[in-house]
Amino acid sequence: MEPLEIEKNIPFKSNLLTSCLYCGTSLPATKAEHIFNSCWGGTHKTSRLICDTCNEDYSCIDSIFAPYTQFIMNAWQFKGERHQEIPSISTEEGYTIEKGGRPVINPKVDVIPLDDGRMKIKANLRSKSQARKLILDEKDVIEEKIGRELTEAELEEIREEIRNSEFVTGAPGILKINAQLCFDDEYRSAAHTLIKCLACFDPETAKSDLTKTIRDFARYSHGDWLEFAIEASSIFSFEDIFNTYSHHINSAVIYYSEFLGKIIGSLTILGRIKRWVILAHNYTGPDRILYVQEKVRSGGVIDRVKVNLREKNIPLVQTEFKPPSINQLVNEFYLLAKITMEIEAPFSNFLSSFKSAITRHTVINEYFLKEIVELYVEFLKIITNIENVEEIEQQIWESGLSDILSKFHDMEINEIKIQEELLFFFSVLIEKFR
């Protein structure tokens, strides 16, 4: 007998809720609430879970994960429902990282008056035209600083200086990121989302006394995040069920464990940022798992499954019930920043060139793959310090590309399966050269 019984597309039961999960005000609310935050790309909304006041009070912690999600959205070049633009990131060195991990220097002009009445101009600029414009725009500011009007000769001197300047473009090296993280609010936001997912499919538990403590923490900040946060892992993976391995997915898993006597939730934002939360103690029902996911900007489609376990005494979650340390959380943040900016952003740019190469070819052949290898080597040059390009190209062919060529030779490039296999090959290959 299979140990797991999987029920797909279980029905929404939120219409059983007649009053707000948190404060008891009658439902439905006039304003709809996202299940997965719109800042993470969530689109599904419902007015069946919480009242307008509670909804409104949450808006202040809605963007609490923005320091994390900005990297993922920037690297993979997508945005949330309410974002005007793909997020760009400011660094401490006066750079802005524009979408796709492209750092550009922030324009800035400093005028330092010298004792002899002359002045020194220091500029941080991307191009001569920008310099010319910015300096002439700031003529008034400069004149105020030096306490007199600029002479025509001085203006000419400035123009001459710009004409002779070298402008540096490109990566500034290691970027210093300044971020403010608030773990208490992060865990409140995570708990809030997990409670909403629970309420959609199991409103009885979501409203019961069992989950009152976590609801009070999520809504009213009662208690400390350290009481609810845990470090944990699970042997169950749900990505296989929907065949979705992606940074473009938000998901929630609720583990009801008789063995542990607890209900534990795990929230994953954009496939990467994970928070484990204890939702209830003293759980005595059967072992089961609820999995809920929403693809980013999918038009509101919520995939969900309920998993019943036929065997007893399986610890659904491995945990020592200890919260992660602050150091650990901070390190996770920096690792996310580093990997997304240093590897994933260049890789997503490689993907764009890959897609445009596809449009120039019709079938899989040596010419097409040679072009892709060249693009891939350009990507490798950014993330590693490889030197011998020919040798690297040779290694790429020998690592399995030759096999792919013979397997798919002369087949249509438009075949999605072939494209996926190629991209999988190139993404796994990164490890070999890092």
| CB of 52 vs Zn ion, minimal distance in Å | 8
Peptide bond between residue 323 and the one before it cis (omega within 30 degrees of 0): no
Which CB sits closer to Zn ion, 28 or 172? 28
The least distance separating Zn ion from the CB of residue 29, rounded to whole angstroms, comes to 8
Whole-angstrom distance, CA of residue 149 vs CA of residue 241: 72
Lookup: tokens for 198: 């629970």
Q: Interacting stretch for Zn ion, rule CB under 5 A, among 45-53, 88-96, 233-241, 333-341?
A: 45-53
- Please pick, from the candidates 17, 27, 49, 51, the single residue that binds Zn ion as defined by CB under 5 A: 51
**Least distance between Zn ion and beta carbon 294 (Å):** 23
Given a contact cutoff of 8 angstroms between Cβ atoms, the answer to whether 376 and 349 are in contact is no
For the record, the structure tokens of 119 come out as: 């002045």
Determine the Cα–Cα distance for residues 225 and 34; give it in Å rounded to an integer. Answer: 23
Question: Would you state the structure tokens that stand for residue 7, as one six-digit string?
Answer: 């029920």
Residue 17 engages Zn ion in binding (rule: CB under 5 A)? no
Nearest residue (CB) to Zn ion, 54 versus 307:
54
Size of the site for Zn ion (CB under 5 A): 6
Token pair for 350: 């490689």
> Which residue do the tokens 């009885």 mark?
204
- Binding segment for Zn ion (CB under 5 A), chosen from 23-31, 32-40, 129-137, 223-231, is 23-31
Under rule CB under 5 A, which residues in 372-401 are in contact with Zn ion? none
Instruction: State which residue, 23 or 423, has the beta carbon closest to Zn ion.
Output: 23
**Please, what is the minimum distance in Å from the beta carbon of residue 202 to Zn ion?**
19
Considering beta carbons, is residue 17 or 190 the nearer one to Zn ion? Answer: 17
Query: Judged by CB, which is closer to Zn ion: 26, or 406?
Result: 26
Write down the least CB distance from residue 47 to Zn ion, Å. Answer: 12
Interface residue with Zn ion, options 14, 17, 20, 264 (CB under 5 A): 20
Unique residue bearing structure tokens 């929907």:
242
- What is the C-alpha separation between 204 and 207, in angstroms, rounded? 5
Q: What is the spatial distance between Cα 310 and Cα 88, in angstroms, rounded to a whole number?
A: 48
Q: Which residues contact 186 (CB under 8 A, 6 or more apart)?
A: 64, 65, 225, 275
Q: What is the H or E stretch that residue 142 is in?
A: helix 139-146
Report the residue number, 213 or 399, with the smaller CB distance to Zn ion: 213
Using the contact rule CB under 5 A, the part of the chain among 19-27, 192-200, 242-250, 376-384 near Zn ion is 19-27
Q: What are the φ and ψ backbone dihedral angles of 415, each rounded to 5 degrees?
A: -60, 115
Nearer to Zn ion, 199 or 289 (CB): 199
**Least separation, in Å, of the C-beta of 27 and Zn ion?**
9
Nearer to Zn ion, 51 or 302 (CB): 51
* Pairwise CA distance, residues 225 & 109, whole Å: 45
**Tell me, what amino acid is at 84?**
Q
Q: Does 58 bind Zn ion (CB under 5 A)?
A: no
- Asked whether position 283 contacts Zn ion by CB under 5 A, the answer is no
Q: Which is nearer to Zn ion, 47 or 88 (CB)?
A: 47
216 Rama sector, left if φ>0, alpha if ψ -120 to 50, beta otherwise: alpha
Choosing from 4, 10, 23, 429, the residue that interacts with Zn ion (CB under 5 A) is 23
Find out whether 333 and 68 touch, Cβ atoms under 8 Å: yes
Give the range of 18-26, 184-192, 233-241, 413-421 binding Zn ion by CB under 5 A.
18-26
User: What b/e readout covers 351-367, taking b as 16+ CB neighbours within 10 angstroms?
Assistant: bebbeebbeeeeebeee
- Identify which of residues 51 and 232 has a Cβ nearer to Zn ion in the complex: 51
DSSP state of 400: I
22 lines the binding site for Zn ion (CB under 5 A)? yes
What's the min distance (Å) between Cβ of 57 and Zn ion?
Answer: 8
- Counting Cα atoms < 13 Å in the Cβ hemisphere of 149 gives 3
Nearest to 234 by CA among 116, 122, 314, 148: 314
CB of 58 to Zn ion, least distance (A): 10
Residue with smaller CB distance to Zn ion, 73 or 195: 195
Least CB distance to Zn ion at residue 22 (A) = 4
Regarding 54 and contact with Zn ion (CB under 5 A), the answer is: yes
Query: Considering the rule CB under 5 A, would residue 40 count as an interface residue with Zn ion?
Result: no
Task: Identify the residue whose tokens are 């709809």.
Answer: 32
Q: Which stretch binds Zn ion (CB under 5 A): 12-20, 59-67, 301-309, 323-331?
A: 12-20
Helix H segments across 315-397? 326-339, 345-360, 366-383, 389-396
Q: Which residues here bind Zn ion, judged by CB under 5 A?
A: 20, 22-23, 25, 51, 54
